């Protein structure tokens, strides 16, 4: 009988310690969560909240977020240009599919 109580106590203790660690890790990530969007310094916003805040400030903007942490300058610029290219191409295709198909046919 004592063994069962010890096992149950150990399991409960393990779950509590794991939960405290999980909550602490999540809280640390939220506290250090900072974003800069087109000069907007957004502190303690997750991705969705950052988009909402940016929409409040500039409802006409098209936002592209790129994580450049650890990249050198030239790679960061190249990555940003690449991602902007995707968005511009998608907007052109959305408005005029013939232009979109013409570009794709040229690549073949």
The per-residue pLDDT for range 41-73, each reduced to its tens digit, is 666 666 677 777 777 766 666 667 777 888 898
More confident residue, 62 or 24: 24
Residues near 71 by Cβ (< 8 Å), separated by ≥ 6?
A: 79
Q: How far apart are CA 2 and CA 97, in angstroms?
A: 74
Residue 4 has pLDDT above 80, yes or no: yes
Alpha helices in the chain (DSSP H): 2-31, 47-57, 73-95, 97-107
% of the chain beyond a pLDDT of 90: 13
pTM comes to 0.40
Query: Are 34 and 41 spatial neighbours (Cβ–Cβ below 8 Å)?
Result: yes
């Amino acid at each position: 009988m004592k063994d069962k109580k010890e096992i149950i106590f150990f399991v409960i203790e393990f779950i509590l310690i794991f939960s405290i660690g999980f909550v602490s890790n999540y809280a640390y990530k939220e506290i250090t969560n900072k974003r800069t969007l087109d000069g907007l310094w957004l502190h303690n916003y997750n991705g969705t909240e950052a988009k909402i805040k940016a929409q409040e400030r500039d409802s006409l903007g098209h936002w592209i977020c790129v994580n450049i942490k650890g990249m050198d300058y030239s790679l960061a610029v190249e990555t940003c240009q690449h991602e902007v290219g995707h968005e511009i191409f998608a907007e052109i295709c959305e408005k005029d599919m013939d232009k979109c198909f013409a570009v794709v046919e040229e690549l073949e």
